[in-house]
Amino acid sequence: MKKILAGIAGLLLIWLLWPASIDAVSYQPSVSPGFVGDFALNEELKKAEILTLKSGAGPEDVAVDGEGRIYGGLHDGRIIRMSADGTHQETFVTIEGGRPLGLHFDASDNLIVADSYKGIVSISPTGEQTVLTSTHGGRPFMFTDDLDIAADGKIYFSDASDKYSQPDFMLDLIEARPHGRLLVFDPATGETEMLLDDLYFANGIALSDDEDFVLVNETGRYRVTRYWLKGEKAGTSDVFIDNLPGFPDGISAGTDGTFWLAIPSPRNPVMDKAHPNPWLKELIVKLPEFMQPAAIKQGVVVALSETGAVKHTYHDTDGSAVYMVTSVEQVGDTLYLGSLTAPQIVRLKIK
């Protein structure tokens, strides 16, 4: 018995002394507003249509072409294409060694992809792949995440972290250091410019209707940041909406000045309590993954005005049908929802 206890004590000592995989810092989150008031719960996402994938999972972002065909990028590097009714599904292309995240069609019907490992990739209508940009200033993109395309063809995109790659996104969020950046690629010149650095997990990207500003989600700070492109504030940034009740992931521009915000999970109270204590966070990441704080299964979509006010929310409170929503794209009167983990694309008619 003594030998067993000694062995357990030895293992515990090794666990305590073993170097952590993160260099955590203290961060004191604001108290979560919860899902009340403007964020009040409902069950509107339970009315959605579920388009189940025939193989694979994790269509993190969704794009729809001029023929109504639906595209999603999966964990295994495939970008699938399905018919408008979801019955016919095929592999459009495979990005070998890639993980396609953000998707957006340009004016020439090329599918522009933010691939976590490859950078910004252009895929022609016939499936030819071209890497447009993968580094800036000697810093390679470790985690190319999302994008939006301006009328002049410029591609605004995020590099979520220049330290951690996509499988280790939780390490970046727990560490709470600003490893992300907002960038823009100009196809006319082939140049990539950095607009903002030191962002806390730079995620979803969306341009305003008249392209006077671009939004970038800072998932690690529960906020959306605005970078001004035109006017007196051009070249500066401010907070568009702050202290969200969940982790902001994808964001996109809809109609009538609406922005659609995807929240894959409510805030985890365990992590909010741990954030002020770097030593505690470093112990947490040494636990087996199943013992670490995880996403809470719930479906959440938020409609925001161009001033950052909450217009409406859509929920599946127990995540029984819709969960881990990481992107929202509006096409006409329909929302298409992507997910980092679910084996489905979700479609919802809106008023």
What residue ranges do the domains of the chain occupy? 43-67+139-349
Instruction: Write down the pLDDT at residue 43.
Output: 98
State the first-to-last Cα distance of the chain, in angstroms, to the nearest integer. 68
Q: ∠ at Cα 55 (54, 58), nearest 5°?
A: 110
The CATH number assigned to the domain with range 43-67+139-349 reads 2.120.10.30
Instruction: Write down the pLDDT at residue 6.
Output: 45
Question: Which parts of the chain have pLDDT scores under 70?
Answer: 1-18
Instruction: Write down the pLDDT at residue 5.
Output: 47
User: Of all residues in the chain, what percent are helix, strand and coil, respectively (each to 5)?
Assistant: 15, 40, 45
Structure pTM?
0.95
Instruction: Write down the pLDDT at residue 162.
Output: 95
Instruction: Write down the pLDDT at residue 262.
Output: 98
Instruction: Write down the pLDDT at residue 21.
Output: 86
Question: Mapping DSSP to helix (H, G, I), strand (E, B) and coil, where does residue 8 land?
Answer: helix
**How far, in whole angstroms, is CA 65 from its chain's centroid?**
21
Instruction: Write down the pLDDT at residue 13.
Output: 45
Instruction: Write down the pLDDT at residue 127.
Output: 97
Query: Does the CA dihedral 200-324-94-191 come out positive or negative?
Result: negative
How many alpha carbons lie under 13 Å from residue 40 in its C-beta half-sphere? Answer: 4
Pairwise CA distance, residues 43 & 229, whole Å? 37
Instruction: Write down the pLDDT at residue 1.
Output: 58
Instruction: Write down the pLDDT at residue 351.
Output: 81
Instruction: Write down the pLDDT at residue 18.
Output: 57
**169-194: per-residue pLDDT in tens?**
999 999 999 999 999 999 999 999 99
Q: ∠ at Cα 176 (166, 213), nearest 5°?
A: 75
Burial class (CB in 10 A: 0-12, 13-18, 19+), 351: exposed
Average pLDDT, the chain: 94
Pairwise CA distance, residues 76 & 66, whole Å? 26
